[in-house]
């Protein structure tokens, strides 16, 4: 037995939608009838360092399966997440953070976010982190964790986020598995009013990770 249930969207929410149903149906139909034209149009909504020459190039031959999108193009995810918004709407809120104690909160604008992420990226570069390097992030749920991820993306490093509640052994296993050479952590974190000794855990984990020789504590 099945029952079809429809939950109407409240008018206050539907009024803020970016598109209406008719526009959605038109775009959906375009994506089916002219996928290359559709994705070429959508690609104009983000910033490219180098424009692409071909929307898609695919081969489904048995011995030559290849799927390439936007061939020749080059972009930066961090710049697309931050810079274009920091230019057009610098004072718009990018991050709203609430601590373990709801009375502790913080809002970060796009302009502030760009400055903080660039600072973090420069610190990473100063310590030798370069494109392709793996950076492990073992932090509490704080804005600095987002800064670290976006900073890695900005310079082409690969970030690996490890849950702050994991044990030293679990952290060590993940550092070793991804061949990380750099760790970003904090002195401690708070979860459910309980103190998590992040730096102490990191120190213990690094006893098993001789190739991870640089630690940044924020």
Phi first, then psi: what are they for 211, rounded to 5°?
Answer: -85, -10
User: In this predicted structure, what is the pLDDT of residue 191?
Assistant: 82
pLDDT more than 90, % of the chain = 82
Contact 135, 152 (CB under 8 A): yes
- Rounded mean pLDDT of the chain? 94
pLDDT digits (tens, 9 = 90+) for 89-112: 999 999 999 988 888 899 999 999
pLDDT digits (tens, 9 = 90+) for 186-216: 999 988 888 999 999 999 999 999 999 999 9
Mean pLDDT computed over 59-83: 94
Mean pLDDT computed over 26-44: 96
- By CB atoms closer than 10 A (0-12, 13-18, 19+), residue 106 is exposed
User: In this predicted structure, what is the pLDDT of residue 215?
Assistant: 96
User: In this predicted structure, what is the pLDDT of residue 1?
Assistant: 61
Phi first, then psi: what are they for 189, rounded to 5°?
Answer: -135, 170
pLDDT digits (tens, 9 = 90+) for 5-33: 889 889 898 888 888 889 999 999 999 99
- Return the HEC string of 84-95: HHHHHCCCCEEE
User: In this predicted structure, what is the pLDDT of residue 14?
Assistant: 85
* DSSP string covering 93-138: EEEEEE-SSTT-EEEEEHHHHHHHHHHHHHHHHHTT--TT-EEEEE
- Whose CA is closest to 38, among 48, 46, 29? 29
Structure tokens, 65: 């399966």
CATH class of 77-217: alpha beta
Contact 157, 132 (CB under 8 A): yes
Mean pLDDT computed over 150-166: 97
Residue extents of the structural domains in the chain: 77-217
């Amino acid at each position: 037995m099945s029952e079809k249930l429809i939950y109407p969207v409240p008018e206050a929410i539907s009024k803020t939608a970016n598109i209406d149903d008719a526009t959605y149906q038109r775009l959906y139909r375009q994506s089916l009838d002219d996928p290359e034209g559709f994705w070429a149009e959508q690609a104009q909504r983000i910033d490219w360092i180098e424009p692409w020459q071909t929307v898609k190039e695919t081969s489904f031959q048995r011995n030559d399966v290849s799927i390439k999108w936007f061939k020749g193009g080059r972009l930066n995810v961090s710049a697309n997440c931050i810079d274009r918004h920091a230019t057009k709407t610098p004072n718009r809120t990018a991050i709203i953070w609430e601590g373990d104690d709801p009375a502790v909160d913080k809002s970060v604008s796009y302009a502030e976010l760009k400055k903080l992420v660039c600072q973090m990226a420069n610190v990473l570069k100063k310590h030798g982190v370069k494109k392709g390097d793996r950076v492990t992030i073992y932090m509490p749920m704080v804005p600095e964790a987002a800064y670290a991820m976006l900073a890695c993306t900005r310079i082409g490093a690969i970030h690996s986020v490890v849950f702050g509640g994991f044990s030293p052994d679990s952290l060590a296993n993940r550092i070793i598995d991804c061949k990380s050479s750099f760790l970003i952590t904090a002195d401690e974190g708070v979860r459910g009013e309980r103190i998590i000794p992040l730096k102490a855990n990191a120190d213990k984990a690094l006893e098993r990770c001789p190739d991870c020789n640089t630690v940044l504590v924020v």
